[in-house]
Amino acid sequence: MTDHVRISVEDRVMRIAFNRPDKKNAITNAMYQAMGEALVRAEQDPGIRAVLFEGEGDAFTAGNDLADFAAVASGQLARSDMKAHTFLEALARAEKPYVAAVQGLAVGIGVTMLMHCDLVYVADDARLTTPFVNLALVPEAASSWLIPARIGHARAFAMFALGEPVDGRTAAAIGLANAAVPAGEVRAKALNSAKALATRPLGAVQATKRLMRDAAAISALMKRENEIFGQRLGSAEAAEAFRAFAERRAPDFSKISD
């Protein structure tokens, strides 16, 4: 367990809060493991009828802690030791309703995980980015399918390949979120919705969610993305991207042909 994820249950809602505000809630291996285990518990516990994701401080999450990616790219950490898959697999299998409250930054998996949430509320001034290609990587969490399905190929490709940000109001307008609200209200809005879902007939909610998503196809695509993601982490382009990040400079991919 880790103090960087705070897990509580109230009114039949499991609240999973990123609790690393000094690092913009960047997600570590231990955090992925804790969240994956929490979701397994939520799915199995009849007393839990909804799950709420939220972040402490002024950010939802800055995404995966880049130190882990850099360690894999440099050979210091085995790809098999990364625990993101435990969280992603739990998202793919989810049947209970999931809600998210997003304020400030939502980067990488901070955006892609929202595609597995049934209700998403964002702050007006939230900033959502998926800069996978900037890091010489590819999308994950089945987002290479789920995001284009929500917002169309053109917008999704710009988010993935150019790293173009989307603000909270735009996210709601194009279908990445249910609604944009003032930052000071977003967590309360999401919690109230999660509590409302927890009062609905759970069997009907779960049956509806199963009808609305193809869990097998999502899992299969996650596996394919994961394989390519791992290959990209070992590429010369990724090595340059993470060197540049560590050296606080722009990467130069002009002489790399992989």
CATH of residue 134's domain is 3.90.226.10
Q: How confident is the model at residue 73 (pLDDT cuts 50, 70, 90)?
A: low
Q: Which residues pair with 167 in a beta bridge?
A: 127
Once rounded to an integer, what is the mean pLDDT over residues 73-102? Answer: 86
Q: Which of 49, 40, 6 is nearest to 196 (CA)?
A: 49
Q: Is the pLDDT of residue 93 over 80?
A: yes
Once rounded to an integer, what is the mean pLDDT over residues 116-131? Answer: 98
195: in domain: no
Strand order in the sheet with 166-167: 105-107, 127-129, 166-167
**Strands 127-129 and 166-167, how do they pair?**
antiparallel
Residue 125 belongs to domain spanning: 5-184
Q: How confident is the model at residue 76 (pLDDT cuts 50, 70, 90)?
A: confident
Q: Is the pLDDT of residue 99 over 90?
A: yes
Q: Is the pLDDT of residue 208 over 80?
A: yes
- pLDDT score at 80: 67
- pLDDT score at 2: 82
64: in domain: yes
pLDDT tens-digit readout, 47-66: 999 999 999 999 999 999 98
Once rounded to an integer, what is the mean pLDDT over residues 88-94? Answer: 96
Once rounded to an integer, what is the mean pLDDT over residues 20-33? Answer: 95
226: in domain: no
209: in domain: no
Q: Is the pLDDT of residue 37 over 80?
A: yes
Largest CA distance in the chain: 58
- pLDDT score at 245: 86
**DSSP calls for 5-60:** EEEEEETTEEEEEE--GGGTTPBPHHHHHHHHHHHHHHHH-TT--EEEEEESTT-S
47 vs 102: CA distance, rounded Å = 25
14: in domain: yes
Q: At what angle do helices 236-246 and 66-73 cross, to 10 degrees?
A: 130
- pLDDT score at 66: 81
Number of domains in the chain: 1
Contact between 144 and 138 under an 8 Å Cβ cutoff? The reply is yes
Once rounded to an integer, what is the mean pLDDT over residues 181-191? Answer: 98
Q: Is the pLDDT of residue 70 over 80?
A: no
State the sign of the Cα–Cα–Cα–Cα dihedral 128, 180, 38, 145. negative
Q: Is the pLDDT of residue 255 over 90?
A: no
Q: Which residues pair with 6 in a beta bridge?
A: 17
224: in domain: no
Q: How confident is the model at residue 1 (pLDDT cuts 50, 70, 90)?
A: low
Residue linked to tokens 């987002």:
143
pLDDT tens-digit readout, 6-18: 999 999 999 999 9
115: in domain: yes
107 vs 102: CA distance, rounded Å = 11
203: in domain: no
What's 118's DSSP letter?
Answer: S
189 vs 14: CA distance, rounded Å = 15
